């Protein structure tokens, strides 16, 4: 489990690449034995050279005048020539660690022109760069069908970038530095030829990172006894690529690649096929982040998983659910397993019910075409809320290792009863006028088919049939166009048996029960509702909140969920990503009721835009002697 100190690369003189230890390599002897004869000159077929003559004592002769030509290497070449080191500097750099801090990471955002990329992915990558969390040698590529230049991509991305509230210094400079690492390639998602072109560009930038950085930062000392060596800095990429592929076997830098598929699910497979066959790293890891939805039901999800595994191994697939990257969700296991006051209470003996509530105060607003194909049950419940439930209810894992945690989550999901139709209430928002403003109905969205029965609201009661949670209702509620935007977990504890103070409460016992509230968004907080005596001579009781409000307690701005998940993917940490058997177990719970809703054309209960949702949700809760905890908000 990473600590996320943003030190991604080892600081010792050896590193581990693919499980092997790569020790310090004397680069001079390696070049002598593997690459250079007594006198070597690499010449460019593009008619521009960079000649550096290294004498026996390490001195540098005057370089030849290069032939001018506009190439990606021109600026790098000129910069190198202006900083040729002294003999002493060569001697000090005579031996350096080529494995230390020297892997490259190329991050390709597939679907770079889309809203998710612009609003979330590029800003998250910049935030990681600003915090110093990205590897030293990284490149970001945008890939999409839209025709765009590097400059146009940078202009598009720059409009969405912002620095941390508490770290505004050098913001503009940092943005400029970041944008210089961003490039673009246009292509079709199903074109192996286009992905091969992308691969060539990735290699060019990876090689520039490997060789130019090494030359300019360490000034490689090709010191060979009794030899004078002429070294032409190559402009011909074939030579550079050949050399870069040979170095890792001797402990050099590897080129790693991360692909983020920010594209519709119907083209996942084409893009993965092309990535795997035409743009994978040959000398490092290749990982692919896949956005939800992961199918529409058990069958389509299984087919998607099978197709992905034709081209990728399971440990290369990072199925992202951004809710798992939210600060309060990640804090859930810390709250439970590191606080003795909670762990003994985390069971049916003390917990009466658990509520997982998600609400948005806006409708589909132009995204109805996508949403109508999935609905609120698939879009929110089957993934976001169910994943939070599994984290909440799991047994103590053997360790914080990703597989140990995911094993426990799978056990919870496999212990749950399949969702029944009688335990589900669905709704759809209708038009409503409030304060002189008329809010549209779901079916008023031009992108939604007329007469659609797709639910925009759902409430459900789920049960876990194991020793810890037997009989405890887990109530979920999710909806669009409701009165508030919020996501929270509410844990309502049982009443105190034989409570001496029952008569001192003038309200019902539900108001007097202890409740733990974990507010995931907005205004992240943890509240514990307790009963206490009101000051005075009489005996009057009240309930109060013990509150941890993150904004008041911590001055540091909370990172966006995408920042954490992107950093985890770069580090290879899979704890917050969904494994294929997790996905199978989750769909097994929801698929039967989804099919029944669609086959029977169940008409949703209509609720006004901006309300608390359908009345049927309250009847569902009452059936299990539960009152929704957010009623007073």
* CATH number of the domain residue 612 falls in: 3.30.360.10
Rounded Cα gap, residues 144 and 191, in angstroms: 11
Low-confidence stretches of the chain (pLDDT beneath 70): 1-102, 164-169, 208-253, 499-512, 632-633
| Cα angle 510, 524, 157; round to 5 | 145
Which residues are known catalytic residues?
384
In the chain, the number of structural domains is: 2
Domain presence at residue 257: yes
The predicted structure's pLDDT at residue 466: 94
Structure tokens at 64: 């030849």
For residue 457, being part of any structural domain is answered with: yes
Specify the 3-state DSSP secondary structure of 76: helix
Domain match, 512 and 465 both:
yes
Q: Which two tokens stand for residue 258?
A: 């991360």
CA 329 → CA 345, 395, 521, distances in Å? Answer: 19, 16, 10
Element (H or E) spanning 459, and its range?
strand 457-462
Do 34 and 246 meet the contact criterion of CB atoms below 8 Å apart?
yes
pLDDT number for residue 511: 63
Q: In this structure, are 285 and 357 located in the same domain?
A: no
Cβ partners under 8 Å of residue 509, min gap 6: 495, 502
Q: Is 25 helix (H, G, I), strand (E, B) or coil?
A: coil
pLDDT of residue 404: 93
Verify that 282 and 348 share a domain, yes or no. Answer: no
Same domain, 355 and 467: yes
Whether 281 and 389 share a structural domain: no
pTM confidence score: 0.77
> Which residue, 233, 267, 291, sits at the end of a domain?
291
Per-residue confidence (pLDDT) for residue 355, from 0 to 100 = 96
Residue 39 has a CB neighbour count (10 Å cut-off) of 11
Chain length of the chain: 633
Place of tokens 């309200």: 507
Give yes or no for a contact between 139 and 202, defined as CB atoms under 8 angstroms apart: yes
**CATH code assigned at 269:** 3.40.50.720
Domain contains 397: yes
According to DSSP, the residues that pair with 108 across neighbouring strands are: 141, 259
Task: State the first-to-last Cα distance of the chain, in angstroms, to the nearest integer.
Answer: 37
Find the domain containing 146 and state its range: 103-220+252-291
Q: Contact 80/212 with Cβ under 8 angstroms?
A: yes
Collapsed DSSP state (helix, strand, coil) of residue 186 = strand
Q: Model confidence over 271-301: pLDDT tens digits? A: 999 999 998 988 889 999 998 888 889 999 9
Does one domain contain both 499 and 384?
A: yes
């Amino acid at each position: 489990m990473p600590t996320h100190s943003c030190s991604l690369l080892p600081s010792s003189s050896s590193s581990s690449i693919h499980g092997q230890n790569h020790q310090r390599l004397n680069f001079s002897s390696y070049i002598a034995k593997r690459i250079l004869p007594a006198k070597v000159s690499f010449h460019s077929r593009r008619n521009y050279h960079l000649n550096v003559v290294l004498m026996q004592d390490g001195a540098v002769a005057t370089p030849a005048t290069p032939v001018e030509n506009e190439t990606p290497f021109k600026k790098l070449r000129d910069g190198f020539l202006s900083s040729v080191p002294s003999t002493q500097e060569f001697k000090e750099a005579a031996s350096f660690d080529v494995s230390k801090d020297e892997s490259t990471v190329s991050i390709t955002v597939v679907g770079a022109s889309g809203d998710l990329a612009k609003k979330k992915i590029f800003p998250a990558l910049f935030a990681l760069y600003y915090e110093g969390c990205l590897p030293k040698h990284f490149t970001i590529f945008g890939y999409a069908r839209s025709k765009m230049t590097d400059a146009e991509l940078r202009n598009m991305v720059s409009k969405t970038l912002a620095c941390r509230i508490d770290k505004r210094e050098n913001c503009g400079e940092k943005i400029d530095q970041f944008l210089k690492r961003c490039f673009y390639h246009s292509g079709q998602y199903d074109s192996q030829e286009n992905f091969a072109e992308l691969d060539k560009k990735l290699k060019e930038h990876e090689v520039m990172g490997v060789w130019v950085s090494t030359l300019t930062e360490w000034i490689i000392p090709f010191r060979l006894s009794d030899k004078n060596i002429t070294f032409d800095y190559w402009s011909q990429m074939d030579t550079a690529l050949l050399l870069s592929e040979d170095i890792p076997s001797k402990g050099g830098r590897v080129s790693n690649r991360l692909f983020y598929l920010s594209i519709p699910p119907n083209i996942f497979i084409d893009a993965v096929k092309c990535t795997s066959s035409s743009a994978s790293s040959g000398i490092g890891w290749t990982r692919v982040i896949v956005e939800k939805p992961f199918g529409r039901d058990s069958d389509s999800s299984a087919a998607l998983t099978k197709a992905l595994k034709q081209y990728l191994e399971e440990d290369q697939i990072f199925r992202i659910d951004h809710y798992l990257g939210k600060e309060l969700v990640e804090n859930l296991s810390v709250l439970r397993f590191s606080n003795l006051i909670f762990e003994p209470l985390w069971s049916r003996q003390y917990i009466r019910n658990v509520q997982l509530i998600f609400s948005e105060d806006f409708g589909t607003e132009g995204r109805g075409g996508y949403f109508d194909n999935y609905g609120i049950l698939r879009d929110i419940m089957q993934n976001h809320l169910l994943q939070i439930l599994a984290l909440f209810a799991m047994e103590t894992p053997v360790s914080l290792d990703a597989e140990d945690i995911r094993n426990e989550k799978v056990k919870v999901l496999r212990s749950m009863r399949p969702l029944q139709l009688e335990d589900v209430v669905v709704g759809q928002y209708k038009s409503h006028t409030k304060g002189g403003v008329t809010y549209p109905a779901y079916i008023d969205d031009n992108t939604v088919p007329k007469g659609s029965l797709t639910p925009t609201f759902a409430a459900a009661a789920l049960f876990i049939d194991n020793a810890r949670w037997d009989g405890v209702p887990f109530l979920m509620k999710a909806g669009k166009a409701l009165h508030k935007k919020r996501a929270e977990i509410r844990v309502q504890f049982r009443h105190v048996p034989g409570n001496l103070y029952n008569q001192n409460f003038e309200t019902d016992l539900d108001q007097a029960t202890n409740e733990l509230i974990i507010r995931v968004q907005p205004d992240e907080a943890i509240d514990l509702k307790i009963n206490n005596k009101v000051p005075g001579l009489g005996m009057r009781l009240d309930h109060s909140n013990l509150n941890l409000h993150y904004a008041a307690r911590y001055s540091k701005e909370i990172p966006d969920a995408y920042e954490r998940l992107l950093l985890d993917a770069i580090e290879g940490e899979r704890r917050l990503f969904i494994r294929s058997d997790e996905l199978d177990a989750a769909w097994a719970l929801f698929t039967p009721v989804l099919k029944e809703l669609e086959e029977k054309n169940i008409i949703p209960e209509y609720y006004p835009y901006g309300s608390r949702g359908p009345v049927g949700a309250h009847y569902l809760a009452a059936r299990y002697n539960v009152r929704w905890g957010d009623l007073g908000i």
